[in-house]
Structure 1
Amino acid sequence: MSKSSMMLSILWLLKSGRRITAKEIADSLEINIRTVYRYIDSLCASGVPIIADSGHNGGYSLLHDFTEAPLFFEIDEQKALNHAAIYAQESGYPYSEVLNRAISKLNRYTNETQQSLINRHTQGFDVIQPPADPSLEATLQTLEAAVAKGITLFMSYEKGHVNTISERNIDPYGLVHWKNRWYIVGYCHLRDEVRSFRVDRIINLKQTELTFNRPANFSVRSFFLKSLLPDSDAKDTFITVKIQAHPQVIKELSSHWSLWPAFIEGTETEAHFKLKKDIALFYLPYSLLPYGRAIQILEPKEVKEQMVTVIKNLLEHYQKI
């Protein structure tokens, strides 16, 4: 641990409010007691108001009116925080303004040389994503606050495929950012089950007077990922699709957002996917079209036939234009 990190650790120990001895600090940080004395002297020299009391109940403490401790970050840590801020903002993070204030505070503790170095690193780091919808910020903040406080929300939700609006109460368990979209996972009072909802389809959102406790050990991440995976018990509704291609194409297919959850096994030149039958027949062919002759559907036969049908329909469409 660096000197600055060690000094910050000592400062946090002193911030506990109780008097603490040099030996307790040394034991807590696993350092020599003489090193503690040196760091205490350095903190005092930097202007930190440390009180040293001698005697049986003596030790170190901070003045009660000392509320803001200086921050000590290594240059790599500052660089990483700046990069994380850039990534969060491009992803539509709902507290961008607060994040910018935090980064500004962080930069105040850097000298001119350090700031110049950080600027060089941030200027060479970009995240390009589709523009985030600023109108979602208030909704995301309401959802995040309700998750933290355990408040049930009343929600008006638009179903995308039928353009109808339904109303329900939900107990929000957590937010997920997936494929440039935000989702809220929670218990749906209308359906009496845990479900996920697209935030951009929420028309109206209001707090209720109801509260809830999230189930112990519930993982929003695990639930959401599981919803993307095929149900191994529903064998009648799933089929295995086998595709052969160049190793690079197989790698791309295996990491495709709509296929990687369904990947079950493969080799350098072959990949097997377990997909819902309707998805395999009506959506998969369109995902495979951009690869042209670079891929070959080995089985099942019905998927190959559907691929032929899709191509014929496209050919007829453009011949009529």
Structure 2
Amino acid sequence: MSKADNMLSILWLLGSGKRVTAQQLADELEIHVRTVYRCIDSLCASGVPIIADSGPNGGYQILGEFIDSPLLFDSEEQIALVHASVFAQEAGYPLTEALVRAVDKLKRYTNEEQLEWINRHSRGLAVIQTPAEGRELKLLQCLEEAAAHGESVNMDYAKGPDLASSHRVLDPYGIVHWKGNWYVVGFCHLRGEIRSFRVDRILYLKATNLNFERPAAFSPKDFLLRSLLPNPLEAETQVIVRLQGHEHVLNEICKHWLFGHSIIERRGPSEVLFQLEEQSLKTYVPYFLLSYGKSLEILEPRMLIDRMTEVSLEIFKHYEVMQKKMIGKDEEIK
């Protein structure tokens, strides 16, 4: 048998709760006693609480309630773990290699019927997501380790591709995956406050010898959402936006991260009221709503309708220029 098979067999034998000597284990499994010692060491290293008592009545025994804990997963639990690994890998989970090994181990030590069941369900699930690059994965691994051990990091960060970077010391409280991007939330020593940073904009990262303690009950996820979503109580100007359209179109808009958190009232299947910041109506919102074309109607405010007109004309002029250039090239070829 392989070492893994021997370890699992020893685990089952110790599961009785009785003390068993190394020689008894070796005789039962028909292996050398030295193999037993190596397997026991590996089990202890993996976290199994095995104690050894010397003397005439000595032997190995599992400590506490570990013997009562489930050692195997049922079919639904196995499928759930495999499906969860698909989501995690596509999102750029920092411990992807370890996750793949764990799933491979799960499949390797299941029976043929369960393995076929797992594979059939695995083929029925797919996730479309732009995965994190190798460099970003290393940054995420470093940040996750630093957050877990309460260790500050030195970081060079650029807010955009064309902007100069700035150096700072960061106490990473946790990493968050949101809308296809990874963020790190923590205390920024440069600004003297808790802030969030996009991981893909980190240019340099290295752990320090400094330690910190994360505030009790602090949630990196809640902080990130509060920093990204508009706050009606703090915003300078809030505007009511009333949209009308096909039910399925409005349903899709209501799922959007900005609109979904700004709903005031749903007036039947074909009309919704939102409360949005005025600045967003001049910048982001018009371009987003244009993608729905004539299936959507803006009832108010007038300023958003005017801005939609301006944006539409800008796009029209842009492609009109492109069209003229293409016509000119075609004529030159002729």
> Which TM-score tier does this pair reach, normalised by the shorter chain?
0.7 to 0.9
Rounded to whole Å, the distance in 1 between the matches of 2:235 and 2:170 is 31
Q: How many residues are aligned here?
A: 272
Alpha-carbon offset, residue 66 of structure 1: 6.2
What is aligned with 2:296? 295
8 Å contact kept, 2:235–2:277:
no
Q: Which amino acid aligns with 2:145?
A: A
1:281 matched to 2:282: yes
Alignment of 1:36-115 (within 5 A): 47-48=13-14, 50-52=16-18, 64=52, 65=60, 71-115=71-115
SS of the aligned residue for 2:257 comes to: coil
| TM superposition shift of 1:194 | 1.1
Aligned-residue Cα RMSD (Å) equals 2.5
Identify the residue that residue 308 of structure 1 maps to in structure 2: 309
Equivalent position of 1:128 in the other structure: 128
* Distance in structure 2 (CA, Å) of the matches to 1:141 and 1:45: 32
Paired with 1:49 and 1:122, the residues of 2 have a C-alpha distance of 32
- Deviation, structure 1 residue 50: 3.1
Contact 1:156-1:167 within 8 A present in 2 as well: yes
The equivalent residue for 1:185 is: 185
Distance in 2 separating the partners of 1:63 and 1:213: 34
Tell me, which stretches of 5 or more residues in structure 2 are unaligned? 1-8, 20-48, 53-59, 324-334
Deviation track 1:155-178 (CA, whole Å, cap 9, x = no partner) reads 100111752211111111111101
How high is the TM-score relative to the length of structure 1? 0.77
Question: What is the rounded CA distance, in whole Å, between the counterparts of 1:279 and 1:119 in structure 2?
Answer: 46
Partner of 1:166: 166
Between the aligned partners of 1:251 and 1:91, the Cα distance in structure 2 is 25
Task: Indicate the residue corresponding to 2:229 in structure 1.
Answer: 229
- The answer to whether structure 1 residue 210 and structure 2 residue 176 are counterparts is no
Identity of aligned residues (%): 44
Are the structure 2 counterparts of residues 192 and 265 from structure 1 closer, same or farther at C-alpha, using a change threshold of 3 Å?
farther
Q: Quick check: 264-273 or 178-187, which moved more?
A: 264-273
Which runs of structure 1 show a deviation greater than 4 angstroms over 4 or more consecutive aligned residues?
A: 43-46, 65-70
Secondary structure in 2 aligned to 1:183?
strand
In 1: Cα distance, 2:11 partner to 2:243 partner: 68
Structure 2 distance, partners of 1:51, 1:124, is 42
State the shift of 1:275 in Å: 2.2
Shift of the 86–149 alpha-carbon distance from structure 1 to 2, 3 Å rule, reads: same
SS at match of 2:158: strand
CA distance in 2, matches of 1:49, 1:259: 55
The alignment partner of 1:117 has SS state of: helix
State the TM-score, normalized to the length of structure 2. Answer: 0.75
Taking a change above 3 Å as real, the CA distance of residues 62 and 279 of structure 1, as seen in their structure-2 partners, is closer
Q: 1:183 to 1:95 in 2, by over 3 A?
A: same
Q: Which residue of 2 aligns with 1:39?
A: none
**C-alpha distance in 2, partners of 1:162/1:238?**
31
* CA separation of 1:90 and 1:161: change in aligned 2, threshold 3 A: closer
Q: Are residues 159 and 49 of structure 1, via their aligned partners in 2, closer, same or farther at CA, if it must alter by over 3 Å?
A: closer
Mapped to 2, the partners of 1:66 and 1:134 lie a distance apart of: 44
Equivalent position amino acid for 1:286 in 2: Y
Measured in 2, the distance between the counterparts of 1:132 and 1:252 equals: 26
Q: CA deviation at 1:317?
A: 2.6
CA distance in 1, matches of 2:206, 2:105: 34
User: What is the distance in 2 between the residues matched to 1:97 and 1:44?
Assistant: 28
Go from structure 1 to structure 2 and tell me whether the alpha carbon gap of 1:269 and 1:148 turns closer, same or farther (over 3 Å shift).
same
Structure 1 residue ranges without an equivalent (≥5): 1-42, 54-60
Given the superposition, is the C-alpha separation of residues 102 and 319 from structure 1 closer, same or farther in structure 2, using an over 3 Å criterion?
closer
Partner letter of residue 50 of structure 1? Answer: S
Contact 1:285 1:307 in 2 (8 A): yes
Matched-pair contact (CA < 8 Å) for 1:50–1:63: no
Answer whether contact 2:157 2:165 (CA < 8 A) is retained.
yes
Compared CA separation, residues 189 and 291, structure 1 to 2 (3 A): same
d(CA) in 2 for partners of 1:102, 1:286? 43
Q: Which residue of 2 aligns with 1:12?
A: none
Deviating more after overlay: 197-206 vs 66-75? 66-75
Change (3 A) 1:173 1:44: closer
Distance 2:186 2:280 in 1: 26
Give the Cα separation in 1 of the matches to 2:12 and 2:259.
57
Q: After superposition, what is the alpha-carbon deviation per residue over 1:97-120, rounded to whole angstroms, capped at 9, x for unaligned?
A: 111221222223311222122111
8 Å contact from structure 2 (residues 168, 188) kept in 1 = yes
How far off is 1:307 after superposition?
Answer: 0.7
| Separation (CA, whole Å) in 2 of partners of 1:101 and 1:282 | 46
Partner of 1:253: 253
Matched AA of 1:109: Y
- Deviation for aligned residue 1:51: 4.8
The answer on whether the counterparts of 1:146 and 1:172 sit within 8 Å (CA) in structure 2 is yes
3-state SS of the aligned residue for 1:73?
A: coil
